[in-house]
Structures are given as C-alpha cells and as structure tokens.
Amino acid sequence: MSKRRFEPPRLLLAAASLRRAARVPRDRMLEVAERYREPESLAVTVSKALNAGAEGVLATPSPVLDTALGELGRVVPLYAVLPDLPHTGRHDLNPGRVDPLSTDRVNDGGMGTLWTRISHAWLLARRDIGALVRLRIEAEAGRIRRKALRGVVVAAGITDLALAGEHRIFFERLTSFIHGRFGARAAFETLNLGLLLERLREWEVRPDFVVGPVNPRGVMTKPSLPATLDEMARSQVPVVATQLRATGLVTLDEGARFALDHGALGLAPDLADMDDVGAELTRLRGWREEKVRLEGSRSA
C-alpha cells in the first residue's frame, strides 16, 4: 500500500459536541445540541462544510450523524473516532463505564470479529488493551460504509490510558492493524498532545496523524504550551489541531493561524466553534492553501 494513500487530512469538520464530548461552556453545548437535534439540519451543515473544502467529518458515529450523512445522497468521508466510549468521570458510579473496554461489549461484531477473537484469545484473556481496542474497533468500524471510512482515530480516552502506561506496542500494532484491516488512515486522538508526540518520537512510532488541542492560550495543551509547540516542531507525525478557539477565548481565525504557524498540518474545528460553518471553513481553507503556497515559494 502506498504511503500516499494514507496522507493526513488538511481540513475536517469535527462533531464531538454532538455527543457533548467537546469541552465548551455548557450554554454553548446546549445551543449546539438544540441546533442539530434534527438530522436534517446537521445534514445541511455537513454539506456546507464539504462544499467549503472540508475533507470529511471527524466524529464518533451516532444515530443522529448516521441519519444526517445518509440523507446527503453522497459518500461523506468519515474519520471515525473509535471506540465509542461512554461519558466517564469521577462522578460515574457505574463500574461498566469505568472500564472503557468492558468485556460486556467484546462479543459485539459477530462474525466480523471472529478471527480476532480466536487469534487474540490469549491477549484478550490477559485483558491486553491493544487486543481489546482492536476488537472494539473492528466491531464498530464494521457498521460504517467501507467507502466512507477514510480513517480510524483512536479515541482520546483510550490513547491517553495507553500513553500513561507507556504502552509502545499498543501504538505500534494498532497503526499497522488499521492500515491492514481497513485500508484507512490510522490516527490517535489525545488530550495530552505534547506528551504523546514526545513518546511517539522516542518510540519511533509513526501513525498517519494525531489529533489534539492546539491554541494560543494553551488551553488543554499538555504538558504545557511551550512543550507542546516544541514537540510539534520536532515531531515527524502530522498534527490535526482541535480546540482551536480555546473554549471560546480566541476567535477561530486566531486559533487556526496559530496552529498552522506552529506546525499543525490539518485543522479540525468543531461544530461548537462555528456559527457559519460554510463561510468559516472556506476562510480556513484559503489560509491553508496560502500558507502552503508561501512555504513552497520560500523553499523554491
């Protein structure tokens, strides 16, 4: 498989706020949930985003999203954030939610996951996170139209768990698994971008891209803004930047320019970051292209 086939996306529409998984003020979250309660309104927005140059949607599949994409009558490239993790937090009292890879769901996927269940029986019995995630991704990605699946982005809740455990093999094997099994880009979402880039560099593991917060105010950039920017400069793993607006402290324009200026290859603003998706994505695409042109002329 050629490397070119796994090139990272430059502009995505992120939809974490649909599942109230984006970190934005509660009022904004409720506003977005209300706005996109009907799949039709979401379909219109996705269509505008694609027309404005977005290369796909970065989201965990959900009934609302599936219905919206189905209404468009065209293949919408999906960068699926998997596995679908329930809301977690220290106030969660349900032990099943604690373990993001509860065995309750290991048998999902039917025949599609049979081979993995057999071939990884030993690792599954040892509750190896790599094997458990692989199974969950197989089960969940199996429900996505193969034509639409452009990338599998491992959810931050899992990525950061494996990152804290310094589970190098998890990152290494999952990348090649996603390439081989789905022929799609393999990526990791994280809330600890600087630390993940540092570890990937040390381990010499190269997923197709990573997705994480980048903004000028340092909101959610861990371990710190300078350390994250430093790693972005050193890393050979492309970054697709999220949390561009720093939960509303800066404009999308400021956040996007900052991320691009500091080495982010792609941008993934969330629905909650924009009021006029079509216009704002068009502007972002223009800057990206301008930046690429300028860099091209400089190197020439």
For the chain, the residue count is: 300
Give the x/- contact pattern for other proteins in 104-143, rule: CB under 8 A: ----------------------xxxx--x-----------
**What is the closest distance, in whole angstroms, from the C-beta atom of residue 138 to other proteins in the complex?**
18
Among 140, 198, 208, 273, binds other proteins (CB under 8 A): 198
Distance CA(73)–CA(66), nearest Å, equals: 12
**What is the closest distance, in whole angstroms, from the C-beta atom of residue 246 to other proteins in the complex?**
6
**What is the closest distance, in whole angstroms, from the C-beta atom of residue 229 to other proteins in the complex?**
11
In the range 241-300, which residues lie near other proteins by CB under 8 A?
246-249
Asked whether the bond before 223 is cis by omega within 30 degrees of 0, the reply is yes
The count of residues interacting with other proteins (CB under 8 A) is 50
Residue keyed to tokens 């790693």:
231
Residues 6 or more apart whose CB falls under 8 angstroms from that of 131 comprise 116, 120, 123, 124
Among 44, 72, 97, 112, binds other proteins (CB under 8 A): 97
Among 2, 3, 4, 94, binds other proteins (CB under 8 A): 94
From 3-11, 110-118, 218-226, 273-281, span contacting other proteins (CB under 8 A)? 218-226
The reply on whether position 70 binds other proteins by CB under 8 A is: no
The reply on whether position 4 binds other proteins by CB under 8 A is: no
244, 253 contact by CB (below 8 A): no
**What is the closest distance, in whole angstroms, from the C-beta atom of residue 95 to other proteins in the complex?**
6
Q: What are phi and psi of 212, to 5 degrees?
A: -165, 170
From 107-115, 146-154, 164-172, 286-294, span contacting other proteins (CB under 8 A)? 164-172
**What is the closest distance, in whole angstroms, from the C-beta atom of residue 121 to other proteins in the complex?**
14
The beta-strand segments (E) located in the chain are 13-14, 57-59, 78-82, 149-154, 185-189, 209-213, 239-242, 266-267
CA distances from 216 to 9, 113, 162, 251, 282 (A): 22, 43, 27, 10, 21
134, 120 contact by CB (below 8 A): yes
**What is the closest distance, in whole angstroms, from the C-beta atom of residue 273 to other proteins in the complex?**
13
Sign of the CA dihedral running 134, 136, 137, 143: positive
**What is the closest distance, in whole angstroms, from the C-beta atom of residue 55 to other proteins in the complex?**
27
**Number of CB atoms found within 10 A of residue 180's CB:** 10
Residue number, 1 or 93, with CB nearest to other proteins: 93
From 65-73, 91-99, 203-211, 260-268, span contacting other proteins (CB under 8 A)? 91-99
The reply on whether position 170 binds other proteins by CB under 8 A is: yes
Among 91, 110, 111, 298, binds other proteins (CB under 8 A): 91
Asked whether the bond before 207 is cis by omega within 30 degrees of 0, the reply is no
Distance CA(173)–CA(162), nearest Å, equals: 13
**Number of CB atoms found within 10 A of residue 193's CB:** 31
Return residues touching other proteins (CB under 8 A): 20, 25-27, 30, 87-99, 126-129, 132, 160-162, 164-167, 170, 191-192, 194-195, 198, 217-220, 222-224, 226-227, 230, 246-249
